[in-house]
Amino acid sequence: MKKSMILIAVLCFLVFSTVIGQEAKEEEKPDPLANFSLVDETQPVPEDVKVGFESITGKDAVTYLKFISDDLLEGRDTGSDGYDIAALYGATMFELWGLKPAGDMIRPRRDFRRMMMGGQTARSSKRSYFQNIAMRETLERDGKAVAEWQKGQQKKTRSFHPNVDYSYFASGTQSLTAPVVFIGYGIQEKSLKFDEYKNLDVKGKFVMMLSEAPGKGDPDSPFNKGELKKKYYPQRRRMRRMTNPKTKLATDLGAVGVLLVENSPQDNPDVARQALDRQKIYDDRPIIPGERRRVSLMEGSGLRMPWDSVATIRVSREMANKILGFVDQDVDTLKGKIEKTLQPQSMPLKGVTFTVKSTAKTKLVNSMNVLGYIEGSDPELKKEAIVIGAHLDHLGKRGDYIFNGADDDGSGSVGVMEIAEAFAKNPVKPKRSIVFALWTGEEKGLLGSRYYVTHPFIEKTYCNLNLDMISRVYDKSRIGMMARMFGEDIPKEALDKINAKKFVSLSYDADTPELGKIIRENNNYVGLHLSMRASSEGMGGSDHAPFAMSNIPWAFFIAAMTEDYHQPTDTVDKASPKLMEKIIRITYLTAFSLANN
């Protein structure tokens, strides 16, 4: 029933001329446009949401964005003055628009003079707009890795350097020593009778594995099809790191660490060289090698994520070959055998021990989420909240380079602000409460949103709407690239009809199909070209992930991914006010529908 309704809704737009009597026939074959909502003719917006809707304009959004992404804020790095200024700006605007504060209770400041005079200190029961979070920054002082091989009296040693031969980050001082087992790609797939752990004990050992899966680029490889392809080739780099099912498997089997070798030689994790290559794009000033700051939550203060579990050490091919060389093996030969025979080539590296040491100094960093809310109008439903969030932080600066983060995620942040303003100005109030959140520490590992889900302002979150990177317009040629990024194909029928200028990717909780329906309906008032992906992964590289992991329904809007992603060139002049306006408006309408649902 539901399925057919959705289908008809889609067909309404695209097959205007189709005779109504043909609907039944159309249902039988899968509709290539089923996962899209391509609206060109918009409808007038209902009266009860109109004032708020019309208060959202691309012009305002870009004006706020100019402030947020100004050089003066130096890239809004977590814990920096620039971030705090942006946070204060957000809080000030929330207050100006009349939102209620949803942050920490304000501790009364002791008035010693009054106390001396025998007076009472004012007891404040006020909240602030800030949810303060204590974090720990790790200042990596030193690290090294050593591989040793011993056979009787014979002994060989090789030393390796962090950020040249390998990249690994421990949040404190740590030393791990264990034997090494080569496990190929580290895959266990019953359906293919392919088990690279067969007859091997990896408990308490390092496992050396290749990234991805056998047969890369070979269309006949079983790993290049359907679900397996999605599993082993998550396209976004961050996702690869965060949700790697192979790392999880190694952890479950008791490995102490993973020595991860890139499957393709060009993905060499020589981070120093990578930084060099990137910076060359901008100019040829000398490079100041500035490592990314490492900031984490205090133990137990936020939601634990899978990547907290096992030591994943990305090693260069050269380093892997030096370790394998102790037992007369090398990466390409072993990889070649696996590819050719599709038989595991796993083996313990006899006599080889690997040690990785990290010594780290840490310091306390204080940062904050900015939280405001509109109280629901229904006495019962107001106890549930729609949380609309975006991350206010970005990468800060390195050397002379400021990473303004206009799109990532200044755009989402001003989107949340505009929606807050709209709800505040709209005379009709929603039944459920709406919490507006500007998250800190996303770029450091979703710190602010992870903290929030364990310290929510309103206990029950009904749904999370996440805006991350909503200001950049696609050019048509890049849409296919986007699809590949999500491991999907966009059918030609859809590609032909898509207007790149208003194309946006929506992903949402597959367990809440209703959410897709609501967004689709609201698109009729906005006129976006949406690709709609119901995702059951419950994970992703942005702030909806902690909600998803806490079984809270979520939806996530993202516009074009461009070459300016995580670069100093992500600046406000490239933002599209028109596109932002549409995305912010549909999010506002969706929040309203959900709040009254």
Q: Give the residues lining the site for Zn ion (CB under 5 A).
A: 408-409, 468
Main-chain dihedrals φ then ψ at residue 231, nearest 5 degrees? -70, -45
Query: In terms of DSSP bridges, do strands 257-261 and 206-210 run parallel, antiparallel, or are they unpaired?
Result: parallel
Torsion angle of alpha carbons 34, 39, 41, 43, nearest 10°?
90
Nearest CB to Zn ion, comparing residues 413 and 523: 413
Q: Give 409 or 570: the residue with its C-beta nearer to Zn ion.
A: 409
Whole-number minimum distance, CB 235 to Zn ion, in Å?
16
> Which one-letter amino acid corresponds to residue 354?
F
How far is the C-alpha of 558 from the C-alpha of 481, rounded, in Å?
14
Give the residue from 411, 358, 326 showing the smallest Cα distance to 583. 411
CB of 472 to Zn ion, least distance (A): 12
* Residue 73, both tokens: 């804020």
Exposed e or buried b per residue across 486-506, where buried means at least 16 C-beta atoms within 10 angstroms of its C-beta: bbbebbeebeeebeeebbbbb
CB of 541 to Zn ion, least distance (A): 8
Give the phi and the psi of residue 353 in degrees, each rounded to 5: -125, 140
Kindly provide the residue ranges of all beta strands, DSSP E only, lying in 13-108, ordered along the sequence.
36-38, 100-101
Closest to Zn ion by CB, 282 vs 565, is 565
Q: Give me the residue label for tokens 């794009």.
A: 281
Least Å distance, CB 468 to Zn ion, is: 4
State in Å, rounded, how far the first CA of the chain is from the last one.
Answer: 20
- Please report how close the Cβ of residue 543 comes to Zn ion at its closest, in angstroms: 8
Q: Cβ of residue 391: shortest distance to Zn ion, in angstroms? A: 6
> Minimum distance from CB of 564 to Zn ion (Å)?
12
Nearer to Zn ion, 93 or 395 (CB): 395
CA nearest 554: which of 381, 378, 384, 389?
389
**Where do we find the tokens 């699809």?**
483
The two beta strands, 130-151 and 154-160, are antiparallel
> In whole angstroms, how close is the CB of 493 to Zn ion at the nearest point?
31
Q: If you count them, how many residues does the chain have? A: 597
Q: What are the tokens at 562? A: 């461009």
Q: Which residue do the tokens 């070798």 mark?
A: 261
CB of 393 to Zn ion, least distance (A): 9
Closest approach of Cβ 54 to Zn ion, in Å?
28
Residue 41 DSSP class: S
Nearer to Zn ion, 471 or 524 (CB): 471
246 versus 391: smaller Cβ distance to Zn ion: 391
Of 199, 216, 197, which is closest to residue 208 (Cα–Cα)? 197
Measured N-to-C along each axis, helices 317-325 and 331-341 cross at an angle, to the nearest 10 degrees, of 90
How many Å separate Cα 588 from the centre of its chain? 22
- Of 433 and 542, nearer to Zn ion (C-beta) is 542
- Tell me the closest approach of the beta carbon of residue 452 to Zn ion, in angstroms: 16
DSSP assigned state of 411? I
- Strands 347-374 and 130-151, by their bridges, are antiparallel
CB atoms near residue 81 (< 10 Å): 12
Tell the smallest beta-carbon distance from residue 542 to Zn ion (Å): 6
The residues, ordered by sequence, that sit 6+ positions from 384 with a Cβ below 8 Å of its Cβ are 376, 432, 433, 458, 460, 461, 462
Distance CA 438, CA 503 (A): 25
Report the C-alpha gap between 92 and 445 in whole angstroms: 26
CB of 579 to Zn ion, least distance (A): 16
- For 422, phi then psi, to 5°, come to -65, -45
Q: Which is nearer to Zn ion, 262 or 468 (CB)?
A: 468
Q: Is the peptide bond before 409 cis (omega within 30 degrees of 0)?
A: yes
Comparing CB distances to Zn ion, the nearer of 235 and 362 is 235
Phi/psi at 556 (5° precision): -140, 120
- Closest contact distance (angstroms) between CB of 442 and Zn ion is 6
